[in-house]
């Protein structure tokens, strides 16, 4: 290996890979992330897909990005601004110029900076000078031509040759951050097992980029990020959708039930269905339905038959499932509905993130129709809350709506794989022959939960459906019975508050300002609050995962702070929900609906203004 003039140890660094949808930026970022994870760094990633499926090549609308934040200490977000930007064309510079740290490094393929591509991106002549980036560390590498040269005698067609140029850029970044090539080369061998020449071509291009970076002074100094001090265990890099799927698999095993998913593919939730469909070896039964309604109805049928039943969707699909969710409430069958939120309404920005389905999750059904609503906070804890959603649904005989979002679904972070023996037991309230004569809506005294009678057991036959019933399962149109059953179903959901943990305050339990968040904004909010705490501000943070019912100690926490600000990626849905539940408190708001998560700076600026009374 070449001689390095200077190595700088950094606590953390943010790298963004960006280019056209066909440039392989998602794979490039994923390979860098996996290499960093294997080295022992903590990390968080944010894939940023274009909203248009087939945006014109070379335009800003077609730019695909992947940002990764790696560090020696605990990392909670993919980072606000990049230390290094890899831009495969002028449009990538245009889309990301404002997200590069002052003095950062920009590596771009100068072969793609043609007059035509520069014009497509909306520039006149020179993207670097027009964006006022001249004072940055600019590395204009002839990536395309060097890839052609490296593979000129390899016998590949020109299109296949250029498909490897993302690996040249990755090789340069590996040099810059002192990373080994071994993992990526093994990945090529596995991926192209039946096409060994493609595996070798990618290896050659990766090494060519690495050695090119080694020979140019522009990439000195290089950076070193030491491994993080993680707890002992087996780790893997995991995204939220895969973690969600695995949480359901673990819950089914703990409950000793078959797992069934009935879903219709929809961005960004499709990954859950895909992951579960691949797990036939673990007994998962998957059904790709013809539409959203069929998806949830098959899941409800599977629940009636005695399975842990799941259906997954995003906001538009949740609207279509609303009637069947009402049926699940009325029949009191266990069912988990996963809503991976995206920017709406309607099709909206289907590849971008938002937290705008909260009110739909809480109230988007006819009649008095309460369901349990919980929300994941990080890609890895999607496992925990998928497991918890399943436990609540099964033990309380109720539908549970699990909220994730596009940022969590596609983002990744290292995850310590738990031991099955360490996960809590799940005990569904099965009916048995001792319950004869069977009363399907007879409830236990503590939780108001009815028994789960699996079809085929003699003596446990019962009527079920959307019409109101008596405790004996007979259809009833009596007004008093309807009011009684509506009240009991609502009380059953509310009683779940006795099993959920208290809200945890990050920081002092009293102070000048309490920052309130829910779900997937956790990483950005806790990072901003910790920075403000280090600067001496009397500020604390709570993040809600249990939304209906809410934790029992909310009032006790809120009353100890002078001011409260609720931060969420919508126009104030959770803030308004809190106003309904706890009207005695005043709530300020920080809202964003741009299809992207908060930045640390946005949160800090709002908090400082409130703390300073502005």
For the chain, which domains are there? 7-224 (3.40.920.10), 236-422 (3.40.50.970), 429-499 (no CATH), 511-611 (3.40.50.920)
Encode pLDDT of 578-592 as tens digits: 999 999 999 999 999
Amino acid 6: pLDDT: 67
Residue with the larger pLDDT of the pair 280 and 223: 280
Cβ-contact 94, 62 below 8 angstroms:
no
**pLDDT tens sequence across 171-183:** 999 999 989 999 9
pLDDT tens by residue, 112-158:
999 999 999 999 999 999 999 999 999 999 999 999 999 998 888 99
Torsion of CA 229, 234, 236, 239, to 10 degrees: -90
Per-residue pLDDT for 503 more than 80?
Answer: yes
How far is CA 22 from each of CA 58, 450, 459, 468, rounded to the nearest angstrom? Answer: 10, 53, 61, 54
Cα separation, 575 vs 517, whole angstroms: 9
Q: How confident is the model at residue 8 (pLDDT cuts 50, 70, 90)?
A: confident
> Could you read off the pLDDT of 359-392 as tens digits, one per residue?
999 999 999 999 999 999 999 999 999 999 999 9
Q: Are 495 and 489 in contact (CB under 8 A)?
A: no
On the question of pLDDT at 218 being above 80, the answer is: no
Among candidate residues 373, 387, 367, the one with its CA nearest the CA of residue 573: 373
* 477 burial via Cβ count (<10 Å: 0-12, 13-18, 19+): exposed
**pLDDT band for position 405 (50/70/90)?**
very high
Residues 6+ apart with CB under 8 A from 447: 395, 396, 492, 495
CA–CA separation, 227 vs 222, rounded Å?
A: 16
Per-residue pLDDT band at 473 (split at 50, 70, 90): very high
Give the C-alpha separation, 119 to 126, whole Å: 10
Tokens encoding 337: 């509905």
The count of other CB atoms within 10 Å of the CB of residue 442 is 13
Q: Is 98 left (phi over 0), alpha (psi -120 to 50) or beta?
A: alpha
Band (pLDDT 50/70/90 cuts) for residue 1 is: very low
Judge whether residue 189 has pLDDT over 90. yes
Q: Are strands 412-416 and 235-239 parallel, antiparallel or unpaired?
A: antiparallel
Write the burial class of residue 423 (CB in 10 Å: 0-12 exposed, 13-18 middle, 19+ buried): middle
Lowest mean pLDDT among 35-44, 213-222, 448-457: 213-222
Q: What is the pLDDT of residue 3?
A: 52
Residue 11 phi, psi dihedral angles, 5° rounding: -70, -35
Average pLDDT on 37-43 reads 91
Q: Please state, in angstroms and rounded to a whole number, the distance separating the CA atoms of residues 308 and 426.
A: 11
Residue 107's CB: how many other CB atoms inside 10 A? 25
Least confident of 53-57, 226-230, 484-488, 582-586: 53-57
Q: Is the pLDDT of residue 50 over 50?
A: yes
Helix (H, G, I), strand (E, B) or coil at 263: strand
- CB-CB neighbours of 122 under 10 Å: 13
Nearest Cα neighbor of 610 from 491, 528, 548 is 528
- pLDDT tens, position by position, 329-369: 999 999 999 999 999 999 999 999 999 999 999 999 999 99
Q: What band does 229 get if pLDDT is binned at 50, 70 and 90?
A: confident
Instruction: Decide: residue 116, CB within 10 A, 0-12 exposed, 13-18 middle, 19+ buried.
Output: exposed
Per the prediction, the chain carries an average pLDDT of 94
DSSP string, 480-539: HHHHHHHHHHHHHHHGGGGTSPPPPPBS-SSEEEEEEEEGGGHHHHHHHHHHHHHTT--E
Give the phi and the psi of residue 310 in degrees, each rounded to 5.
-130, 145
> What share of the chain in percent tops pLDDT 90?
87
């Amino acid at each position: 290996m070449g001689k390095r003039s200077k190595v700088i140890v950094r606590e953390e660094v943010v790298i963004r890979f960006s280019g056209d949808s066909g440039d392989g930026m998602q794979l490039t970022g994923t390979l860098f992330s996996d290499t960093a994870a294997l080295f022992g760094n903590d990390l968080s990633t944010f894939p940023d897909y274009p909203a248009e499926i087939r945006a014109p090549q070379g335009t800003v609308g077609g730019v695909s990005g992947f940002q990764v934040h790696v560090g020696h200490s605990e990392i909670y977000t993919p980072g606000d601004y990049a230390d290094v930007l890899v831009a495969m064309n002028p449009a990538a510079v245009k889309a990301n110029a404002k997200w590069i740290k002052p003095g950062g490094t920009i590596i771009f393929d100068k072969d793609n900076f043609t007059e035509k591509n520069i014009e497509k991106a909306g520039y006149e002549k020179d993207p670097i000078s027009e964006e006022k980036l001249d004072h940055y560390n600019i590395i204009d590498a002839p990536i395309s031509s060097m890839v052609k040269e490296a593979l000129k005698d390899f016998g590949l067609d020109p299109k296949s040759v250029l498909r490897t140029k993302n690996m040249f850029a990755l090789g340069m970044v590996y040099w810059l951050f002192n990373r080994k090539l071994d993992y990526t080369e093994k990945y090529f061998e596995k991926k192209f097992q039946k096409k060994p020449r493609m595996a070798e071509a990618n290896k050659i291009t990766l090494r060519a980029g690495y050695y090119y970076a080694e020979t140019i002074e522009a990439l000195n100094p290089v950076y070193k990020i030491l491994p993080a001090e993680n707890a002992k265990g087996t780790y893997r890099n995991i995204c939220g959708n895969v973690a969600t799927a695995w949480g359901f698999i673990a819950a089914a095993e703990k409950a000793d039930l078959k797992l069934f998913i009935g879903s219709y593919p929809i961005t960004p939730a499709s990954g859950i269905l895909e992951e579960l469909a691949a797990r036939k070896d673990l007994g998962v039964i998957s059904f790709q339905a013809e539409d959203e309604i069929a998806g949830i109805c098959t899941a409800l049928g599977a629940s009636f038959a005695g399975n842990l039943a799941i259906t997954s969707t995003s906001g538009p699909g949740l609207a279509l499932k609303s009637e069947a969710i009402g049926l699940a409430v009325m029949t009191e069958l266990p069912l988990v509905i996963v809503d991976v939120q995206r920017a709406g309404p309607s099709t909206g920005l289907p590849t971008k993130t938002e937290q705008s389905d909260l009110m739909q999750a809480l109230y988007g059904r006819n009649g008095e129709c309460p369901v349990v609503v919980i929300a994941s906070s990080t890609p890895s804890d999607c496992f925990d809350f998928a497991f918890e959603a399943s436990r609540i649904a099964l033990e309380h005989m109720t539908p549970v709506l699990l909220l994730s979002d596009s940022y969590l679904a596609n983002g990744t972070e290292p995850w310590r794989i738990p031991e099955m023996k360490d996960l809590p037991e799940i005990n569904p309230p099965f009916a048995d022959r001792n319950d004869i004569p069977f009363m399907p809506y007879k409830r236990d005294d503590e939780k108001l939960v009815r028994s789960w009678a699996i079809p085929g057991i003699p003596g446990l036959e019962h009527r079920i459906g959307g019409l109101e019933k008596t405790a004996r399962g007979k259809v009833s149109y009596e007004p008093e019975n309807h009011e009684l059953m509506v009240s009991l179903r609502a009380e059953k959901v509310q009683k779940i508050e006795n099993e959920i943990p208290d809200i945890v305050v990050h920081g002092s339990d009293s102070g000048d300002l309490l920052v309130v968040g829910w779900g997937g904004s956790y990483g950005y909010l806790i990072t901003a609050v910790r920075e403000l705490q280090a600067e001496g501000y009397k500020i604390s943070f709570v993040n809600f995962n249990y939304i209906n019912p809410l934790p029992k100690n909310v009032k006790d926490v809120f009353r100890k702070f002078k001011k409260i600000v609720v931060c969420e990626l919508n126009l104030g849905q959770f803030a308004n929900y809190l106003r309904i539940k706890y009207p005695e408190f005043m709530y300020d708001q920080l809202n964003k609906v741009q299809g992207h998560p908060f930045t640390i700076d946005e949160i800090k600026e709002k908090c400082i203004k409130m703390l300073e009374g502005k």
